[in-house]
Structure 1
Amino acid sequence: MSLPPALAELVEDFEAVGPKDRLQLLLELSQELPDLPDRYADAAGSMEQVHECQSPLFLAVEVDEDADRRVHLFFSAPPEAPTTRGFAGIMHTGLDGEPASEVLAVPDDFYTALGLTQAVSPLRIRGMAAMLARIKKQVRAAVAG
C-alpha cells in the first residue's frame, strides 16, 4: 500500500500495538487536532459536514496554487467526541501538507491497516471512510477548478 510518509508512519504505529493501545493512540491524536483558523470559526456555515460521522464533524480542504498543489486540512469536531476527533487527527497528521496527487492516491480502505475495526464500531469506521472520501472530493474539485 502506497501512502504519504506521515500516514504510513501512523499506520506502522497502529500496527505495532494491540487493540486497546490502538484506541489509546486514537485518543491521543484527538488531542493533537489543531484549532481552526478564524476564517472557519463558523464551521457549520463555512465547512462541509460529514453526515456519516456519529458526532458532528465538519471539514474544509484548501489546495495551494503552486506546482505541488499541497493540501491543507481543517476539521471541527467537539471535544466530547474523541473517536471522531481522533480520526480527524489521523487525516490531519497523515495528509496535511501533502501534494494533491499523494492524497488522491491514498487507498479508500487504508484505515483497515490501522486495525481499528477491533477497537471501534463499524459505524465509526464508516465515518472515517466518509472523511477520506470527502477530502478526496474536495481535492479533486480544487485541482480541476
Structure 2
Amino acid sequence: MAVHTPDVLQEIIDDFHDLAEEQRLELLLEFSDNLPEPPQRYAGHEAEMEQVVECQTPLFLALEYSDDDDPEVTVIISAPPEAPTTRGFAGVLIEGLSGKHASTILSVPDDIPNKLGLTNALTPLRLRGMTALLGRIKRNISEHLS
C-alpha cells in the first residue's frame, strides 16, 4: 500500500516544522488541551475501549465505522489529564485522522512522531507509545475490514 499523509495531518506536521524545536512541545501541549472528551457513551466504560498497553499512560481507544466499503472512521481516544504529551499526540491523531476513510488512514506513514520533529523533545519510550497508538488504530481498521 502506498504511503500517503492526508492533507489535514500534513498541515499539522507543517505547523510543527514551522516552529523552532523548543516550541514544538508547546504546540503538542495545545493539542493536549484541545483533545475532545470521549462521547458520553464511553464515560466510565473504558473496558469497552481498547487499552493501548504500549503507552506508559492508561490510554484507551475506540474506533467507529460508517457502513461503506471504505468506511469513514471516527477515532475516539481517552487519555488522562496528567499525561499531556500522550494527550497531545492523541489530539494530533484525532484531528488529522478522524472522519477519514479507512484506506486513507491505513496509508499514513508509521513514523508520524518523527515527522512532527519531536524526537529530541520526548523520550524514546514516549515516542514508541505514540507510534504504538497509530499502529493500534491501523490494526483495528485492518481487522474491521477483514
TM-score (norm 2): 0.93
* Correspondence for 1:57 among 48, 59, 64: 59
Q: Mind listing any 5+ residue stretches in structure 2 that lack a counterpart?
A: none
Two-structure CA RMSD over aligned residues (Å) = 1.2
Structure 1 outlier segments of 4+, above 2 Å: none
CA contact (8 A) 1:62 1:142 kept: no
Displacement of 1:68 in angstroms is: 4.2
Displacement of 1:66 in angstroms is: 2.5
The secondary structure found in structure 2 opposite 1:59 is strand
The secondary structure found in structure 2 opposite 1:118 is coil
Aligned residues: 144
Inter-partner Cα distance in structure 1 for 2:128 and 2:65: 25
What is the percentage of aligned positions where both structures have the same residue? 51
Match of 1:88 in 2: 90
Displacement of 1:110 in angstroms is: 2.7
Match of 1:8 in 2: 10
Match of 1:19 in 2: 21
Letter in 2 for 1:82: P
CA contact (8 A) 1:3 1:106 kept: yes
TM-score (norm 1): 0.94
Match of 1:126 in 2: 128
CA contact (8 A) 1:48 1:58 kept: yes
The secondary structure found in structure 1 opposite 2:119 is helix
The C-alpha deviation readout for 1:92-121, integer Å capped at 9, x for no partner, is 011000111000001111321111001111
CA contact (8 A) 1:71 1:97 kept: yes
Matched, 1:136 2:138: yes
Q: Mind listing any 5+ residue stretches in structure 1 that lack a counterpart?
A: none
